[in-house]
Structure 1
Amino acid sequence: MALDIPGLIGVIVFYIAILVIGLLAGRKKSSDSNSQFLANRDLGVFVASFTLSATMVGGAYINGTAEEVARRGIIYINAPLCLNLGIVIAAIVIAPKVRKAGYSTIFDPLQSRFGEKMGALLFFNEFFANLFWGAAILGALGSSLSLILDLDVDLCIVISACVAIAYTFFGGLYSVAYTDIIQLIFMAIGLVLAIPFAFTNEAVDISSVKDTWVGTLPTSKIGVYIDMCLLCVFGGIPWQVYYQRVLACRSPSAARTSSLIGTFMATLMLIPPTLIGIAGSAADWNMTSFETSGNLTSDQLAAILPMSVRYLCPTAVSVVGLGAISASVMSSADSLVLATGSVFAKNIYNTLFRPKASDREIVWVLRISILVVGAASTALAIVVHSIFALFVLCTDLMYVAHFPQFVCALWFEGGNTYGSLCGFVVALLLRCLGGEPALKMPVVLKYPMFDETSGEQLFPYKTLAMLCSLGTLVGVSLLTNFIFTRNIIGKKFDIFHCFQEEVTEKDAKDVKMLSNEDEQTDKDKSNTDRPLLDKENGDDETKL
């Protein structure tokens, strides 16, 4: 396959444009930590809606949608639909609450409720999830561009990552937000433009998929399907990458409104890749210039969207479409590295290690974190080829282990470190014992309806693990509150110091009351002795 010169020029022009816009957007604003983290909490509904939607509509969102439609049918695009439903719930219930509280990151309430160290421990699950997610989408983009433009995969990955990291490094959330606007518009134009050409290509016979494009769901798989739906709805709620935009809005009402508008836009963006996926599955690829020996391989099906844009559309349309695919990846990659760097700089470095760090120091820690996370994701995308499996596991843990912690941090005032730690351990244990075929983790705990033949868990065990984690967190917190507040166990055994502050405050009040009583006693005694002294002095003066 020859090098696609027009496509290459189109992608280069797009990358340069995004880089320039990102750098200019960042330079126009201040460079303090509040600007880098939260854009000075000055995002209006328009900008916030676009940056939220662009973050959701990433490479996995549009590429994965087209792949699932082509591979198994439209019924299997439940993941992005359920993710959008979760954001709607968060927009109505959570976004106004956390914006009104004025948090800097979504880990602030976790550290406030469960302690700074426990909050830091909970961060590492999202850290690895973001790391693997970034590597997965960069790897997918590199494979797509390599397949279509006939370029080296590693070169495509490195260049794409460098562009996203560069403007995020200098401009923070301002750069990310304003480039997201351009990227989302570019995605919409490029994908919508490709639809009529893909459907009218002579190689596409829609009648060949009229009985398969919807897909089928075996009865035995209903439990797995429900588990995945619940995972996407509630597992997508506690991510910092979403709340970074919520907390940057001008007001709680703006946070709610922009979330709802952004989710609506993201849902609309499901339509183009779904239609292109149908066209790709109905295509006879031997009638195109794409070199294939028969049915598409699994790797080729994973790239069905860029392949359809490239080989089923005219050159001019495919150039715009490739830019759209690149935009979808960068709009997620920049958000991931910024979200991870923000939490590390604020909740780990500043809170745990350097409480008195200057604003300039925090900004540079953020920038260094962006470089490290970006470089690590890029390296993983190049070296490891099973990144997506790791990302799936971390996403599971966000639902199983992190969601209960997040809910309790916001609404359960009795939560403490003991409950948080026990709930986290239970979630981790139950999830890992259930096994993970993608990582070749053996099934140790066989849940009901376990399929001995395929070795697959058919019971919604991830949801069960989440509920067990939630119940453990609440139960252990209530138990320890009862034990320590009733002095059933001495507070000297409170190793996490969850109740030491209460003791200190009580003791301080008692000391203050005793001090006031002593002071009043001395004052009364002084007032009592004063007349006697005055009388004695008066008698002496009379004698004189």
Structure 2
Amino acid sequence: MAVNVAGLVSVIVFYLVVMGTGFWASRKSKRAEARCTATQSEVMMVGGRNLKTWVSIFTTTATAVGGGYIMGSAEVVYNPTRGLVWCILPLGFFVNLNIVGLFFVKPVRSKNYVTIMDPFQEKYGNRLTACLFIPFLMADVLWVASVLAALGGTMSVILDISSEVSIVISAAVAILYTLLGGLYSVAYTDVIQLVLMLLGLWFCVPFAMLSPATVSITNTSLTSLFQEPWVGSIQVEDLGAWLDEFLIVSIGSVCYQELYQRILATSTVLQAQVTCCISAFISVILVIPSVLIGAVAASTDWNQTSYGLPTPYEEGKAGSILPIVLQHLCPQFVSLVGIGALAAAVMSSIDSALLSSSSLFARNFYKAVVRTNASEREILWAVKVSILVFGVIATALSMTSNSVFGLWILSVDVMYTVVCAQLLAVLFLSRHVNRYGALGGLATSAILRGLAGEPSLGIMPVWTLPGDRLLPDGSLFQGFPFRTAIFLISIASILLWSKAALWVFTRGYLPPHWDVFEVRRPGADALRREIGELRMEESKEKKEQLVSGEGASEGKMEENSH
């Protein structure tokens, strides 16, 4: 089959629209930079903290509802070994966004942090916080890889071009407009992408459901016809795994810098809370087309379609089921609309994750550890170079997996098992933890997660837990909620290591010169916080002086002209 020229042209037009929006937003970024008192790097990372409410809602929703969310949900519903009851992403994100809005927004936004790692830096100092940057980076790179894999599968099916080529082109476009304008480019392109996603997917659903090769999805919801019912079922022995996946999404996702980048760009705490709660409802609405398309795929006699037999699941293409349905069950013009919607979903997540990881790198690693006296220009270059480097790494990783859902879950897995307990401790248990506890908890969770293995990467666990079993295809099913167990152990270990360190040094069981983290020094944490606040005030004063100086010089020029 030749390259789908019409489809290729439509994708190019879409990318040009996105690029145009990115260019416009970059100009807006420069104007905002001249008006506000924040530094250049802060404008790139969180704008001028003046995002309009409707823009913040759109960009927060688009960040959550990306390619992994859209295609992963369709994949799970279609998969005969899973089904709708295993589609935990919509419910998980709904709970997650509401939890963030109710409990996390106020302590983060009220202190005017720039990244979610700032509270770690305030509590533990620069060098220990730099260690925590690694799991944040891993999660963001896996996130980008999952959505790029989604786009590669889509374009290879509908346009008949190499998935590798489409992945590289899409990543290049996202990297380019993210480099141009930072948060403003990302936020305003998200508005366009979310609208295209919403209209495009809903436009495709009726055509897929009315295909002659498809029976009513109500008939196959609970009855086996072409495969197992698409509603699916949860056996008693699978409850642990289901709960584990649900908690991964609903609790583990509270750590993502992508989400806090939007929260920290709002003007008030109330606006940030409203943004989270409204985005939670919209994210559920946006997944409905994906669920319906997954159900349609499970209700289709593929032998009556141009796809033929064996079925997509039997060929290991369940991860690309959404574009396969658009290509083989819908008219060509409908599939073109669908690919635009999917490309929008993917791009809205790529740019967010790239800006997120680069912001953490530049502010909390490069500026804090590598070059403590780095200028604003140097920090901006660190952001831009890291966007490019992390984008290339994620692009390479996206070509190694067939499962969009698997890559996405692995991303959240890292945050849940390694980072989530650390964030809860530093925000809500700050008086009871110290740097020894943070380091001990990080080591404990990382070691336990490594020993638990990851079958999707070919890494087998070193132990057998209750509920573990081999599936008919030879893969290992881990039925025990080991990720949640690691999360709980991590919280306990942070508290225990903190108390143990305090006890051995205050009681004199270890000599004072061994206390490298100064746990015996009273008020050490408070002193670090005061120093951080003073530095923030100094940077604001310098910016204000610069702005006032420019205003005064302009006034003198006007007087001289008169």
Tell me the TM-score normalized by structure 2: 0.85
2-side partners of 1:333 and 1:9: how far apart?
22
Specify which of 345, 357, 360 is matched with residue 377 of structure 2.
360
Confirm whether residue 168 of structure 1 aligns to residue 189 of structure 2.
no
Alpha-carbon distance in 2 for matches of 1:308, 1:390:
22
| CA shift digits 1:102-158 (9 cap, x unpaired) | 111000111222232221111111201211221232123112201211112221111
**Partner amino acid, structure 2, of 1:45:** T
Please give the alpha-carbon distance, in whole angstroms, between the structure 1 residues aligned to 2:526 and 2:424. 28
Is residue 43 of structure 2 the alignment partner of residue 55 of structure 1? no
Partner of 2:446: 428
Which of residues 363, 381, 389 in structure 1 aligns to 2:398?
A: 381
Alignment partner, residue 537 of structure 2: none
59, 73, 78: which is aligned to 1:70?
Answer: 78
1:236 match: secondary structure: helix
Where 1:357 maps in the other structure, the secondary structure is coil
2: CA distance, partners of 1:131 / 1:374:
8
Q: For residues 223 and 387 of structure 1, do their structure 2 counterparts lie closer, same or farther at Cα, with a shift above 3 Å needed?
A: closer
- Taking a change above 3 Å as real, the CA distance of residues 375 and 451 of structure 1, as seen in their structure-2 partners, is closer
CA contact (8 A) 1:494 1:500 kept: no
1:405 Cα deviation from its structure 2 partner: 0.3
Task: Output the CA distance in 2 between the equivalents of 1:304 and 1:433.
Answer: 33
Describe how 1:11-410 pairs up with structure 2 within 5 A: 11-30=11-30, 32-71=40-79, 72-206=82-216, 209-211=220-222, 212-294=229-311, 296-382=313-399, 392-410=409-427
- CA shift digits 1:28-63 (9 cap, x unpaired): 222621210001111121111100100101111010
Whole-angstrom CA distance in 2 between matches of 1:89 and 1:288: 44
Partner in structure 1 of residue 547 of structure 2: none
Match of 1:473 in 2: 494
Larger CA deviation: 396-405 vs 484-493: 484-493
CA deviations on 1:205-241 (whole Å, 9 max, x unpaired) are 1265132121111111111111111121111111111
CA distance in 2, matches of 1:368, 1:458: 41
Q: What is the aligned partner in structure 1 of residue 554 from structure 2?
A: none
Shift of 1:336: 0.7
Shift of 1:443: 2.5
- Are the aligned partners of 2:150 and 2:404 in contact in 1 as well (CA < 8 Å)? no
Note if contact 1:132-1:388 (Cα within 8 Å) is conserved in structure 2: no
Q: CA deviation at 1:432?
A: 2.1
| Distance change in 2, residues 1:112/1:27 (3 Å) | same
Indicate the residue corresponding to 1:10 in structure 2: 10
CA displacement, residues 370-398 of structure 1 (integer Å, 9 cap, x when unaligned): 11111221233346768976664453231
The answer (yes or no) to whether the contact 1:22–1:168 under 8 Å persists in 2 is yes
**Which amino acid counterpart does residue 12 of structure 1 have in structure 2?**
I
Distance 1:62 1:388, change over 3 A: closer
Which residue pairs with 1:533 in the alignment?
none
Specify the SS of the correspondent of 1:147. helix
What is the rounded CA distance, in whole Å, between the counterparts of 1:248 and 1:402 in structure 2? 23
Are residues 371 and 52 of structure 1, via their aligned partners in 2, closer, same or farther at CA, if it must alter by over 3 Å?
same
Distance 1:392 1:252, change over 3 A: same
1:534 corresponds to which residue? none
Find the residue that maps to 1:299 and give its secondary structure. Answer: coil
User: Whole-Å Cα distance in 1 between the matches of residues 486 and 211 of structure 2?
Assistant: 48
Q: Which moved more, 1:352-361 or 1:261-270?
A: 352-361
CA change 1:305–1:187 in 2 (3 A) is: same
- What stretches of structure 2 of length at least 5 have no aligned partner? 34-39, 223-228, 528-562
Within 1, Cα distance between the matches of 2:526 and 2:50?
38
Secondary structure, aligned partner of 1:445 = coil
- Secondary structure at the aligned position of 1:28 is classed as helix
Structure 2 distance, partners of 1:203, 1:449, is 39
Moved more, 390-399 or 181-190: 390-399
RMSD over aligned CA atoms reads 2.3
Aligned equivalents of 2:525 and 2:434: distance in 1?
17
Deviations 1:245-285 (A, max 9, x none): 11111111111111111121111111111111111221223
TM-score when normalising by structure 1: 0.88
Structure 2 CA distance for partners of 1:176 and 1:504, relative to 1, 3 Å? closer
Paired residue type of 2:178: T
- Structure 1: runs of 5+ lacking an equivalent: 507-544
Quick one: structure 1 residues 485 and 20, their matched pair in 2 at CA, closer, same or farther if it must change by over 3 Å?
A: same
For 2:316 and 2:470, locate their aligned partners in 1 and report how far apart those are by CA, in whole Å. Answer: 28
Please give the per-residue CA displacement for 1:332-376, whole angstroms capped at 9, x wherever unaligned. 000111000000000011111222222122111111111111122
In 1: Cα distance, 2:335 partner to 2:359 partner: 36
> Sequence identity of aligned pairs in percent?
38
The 1-side partners of 2:219 and 2:267 are apart by: 51
Are the counterparts in 2 of residues 11 and 323 from structure 1 also a CA contact under 8 Å? Answer: yes
- Mapped partners of 2:84, 2:525: distance in 1: 60
What SS does the aligned partner of 1:201 have? coil
Counterparts of 1:334 and 1:259, CA distance in 2: 19
Which amino acid in 1 is paired with 2:63? T
Distance 1:105 1:317 in 2: 41
Corresponding residue for 2:503?
482
3-state DSSP class of the match of 2:48? helix
Matching residue of 2:428: 411
| Alpha-carbon contact 1:48-1:249 (below 8 Å) kept | yes
